Amino acid sequence: MVVVFFLASLAAAIGISWLLAWLFRIPVKNLLQYLVEKDVAEAWTKYIFFVLLIVGVASGTRIRLLEEYLSAASWNQTAIQGQMTLAFWVLEMYRTLIGAVEGIAWMLVLLALIGGGAYFVIRKNKTNRPQAIARNM
């Protein structure tokens, strides 16, 4: 029962992570195309899609219960299985989804901060370039 719960948690984390990564692929691609060349932006978009999947799955999967179950004495394993009621499943699946969304949200915030910083650096370089050309003439 614990292994089934772990696999269900893993499947839910993969599903929500894939959905969110798929929903944010176009905004990420647009941001990257502004910052770097189109070919590089497409490659980085695939990489970020993969990273969002990994972060979501790692943040959402409930592995603690499986660790406790595997390290417990055999007489305690049945007690752990007995605690797995419908309310437990619902609560833990909710935690799985919230954990995956939270991990992906933090990853996207980090990407937005890096992209915003790069945008201002590029913008500053574009505004300083005409002044540097005028000084050289």
Q: Is 132 a residue whose pLDDT tops 60? A: no
Type of residue at 75? W
Reported confidence tier of residue 136, pLDDT bands at 50, 70, 90: low
In the prediction, which pLDDT does 32 show? Answer: 87
Range of the domain at 119: 2-136
Q: Is 15 a residue whose pLDDT tops 70? A: yes
Q: Is 129 a residue whose pLDDT tops 80? A: no
Question: 65: number of CA atoms within 13 Å, CB side?
Answer: 24
Rounded distance between C-alpha atoms, residue 109 and residue 65, angstroms: 29
> Number of structural domains, the chain?
1
In the prediction, which pLDDT does 133 show? Answer: 59
- The position carrying tokens 């300083």 is 128
Q: Is 21 a residue whose pLDDT tops 90? A: yes
Report whether 9 contacts 93 (CB < 8 A): yes
Cα angle: 49, vertex 118, 124; to 5 degrees: 160
Rounded distance between C-alpha atoms, residue 91 and residue 84, angstroms: 11
Q: Is 52 a residue whose pLDDT tops 80? A: yes
Mean pLDDT for the stretch of residues 66-89: 80
